[in-house]
Amino acid sequence: MEVELLAWYQRTKRDLPWRRTCDPYAILVSEIMLQQTQVERVVPHYLAWLDRWPTTDDLASASVAEVIRAWQGLGYNRRAVALHSAATMIAERGWPDDLTTLPGVGPYTAAAVRNFAFGEPVLPVDVNVSRVQGRTGYSFSPESAQALMDLGATVCLSRAPRCAVCPLAADCRSRGQRYAPVRRQSRFEGSFRQRRSELLRLVAERPRESAGLDATVVESLLKDGLVARDGSLVTLPG
């Protein structure tokens, strides 16, 4: 199966900017941005981010406010603060042996950086990789990581896999199966997440008087380190 998968990947692989580098910082930026965010939205933000802050030292020297403003449009803004904190730790102490000690880095992100940046023989298992392995019943090697991600994202889809064009279909035990719809994320429109996003966008434009803001949302953003209080004003952190 692995031979067929890698041959398919060589013919069809997506040309993504983070696949053109082994720089661990660039890989880390891409992986943090890709958490719960579509590839198409990430690409322009990723390119602009690395153009502005090409190294961990550059990002560490930026203010949290600058980082939050640059993150606008990606959602889940806590990731921006975590990425800035991780860059600060790396700039001060170097890359840790255990990458999960970095803010915002869990087991999957750590495995992705170890594989794609440091060339370590570890397979990062995201939802796409897990789906392909589960359906085929095959354990793929770390060398197949990018291929598995592409297959899961474009062919072995969660509900209606495209078995007719799958390079693994001949030996796949799940060929032809259809699956129940996955539980969708709660709607953004009208949600508390939307209220947070809109208030943060307003504060990113300029400080706002707290009296005119949603107090519950302000407290939530304060707790996450996304805003600060300066007297009667709500501002971005320094």
Cβ atoms of 65 and 237 within 8 Å: the answer is: yes
Cβ atoms of 146 and 9 within 8 Å: the answer is: yes
Rounded CA-CA distance 41/34 in Å is 9
Identify the three-state secondary structure at position 209.
strand
What are 12's two structure tokens? 């069809």
Residue holding tokens 């007719």?
A: 164
| Among the listed residues 103, 116, 111, 117, the one whose alpha carbon sits nearest the alpha carbon of residue 130 | 111
Does 92 qualify as catalytic in the annotation?
Answer: no
Of 2, 31, 40, 189, the active-site residue reads 31
H or E element in which residue 235 lies: strand 233-235
Q: Kindly give the interhelix angle for 192-205 and 64-71, rounded to the nearest 10 degrees.
A: 120
| Among the listed residues 28, 209, 10, 191, the one whose alpha carbon sits nearest the alpha carbon of residue 118 | 28
Is the Cα torsion angle 87, 92, 95, 101 positive or negative in sign? negative
User: b/e per residue, 206-224, with b = 16+ CB within 10 A?
Assistant: ebbebeebeeebbebbeee
Residues known to be catalytic: 31
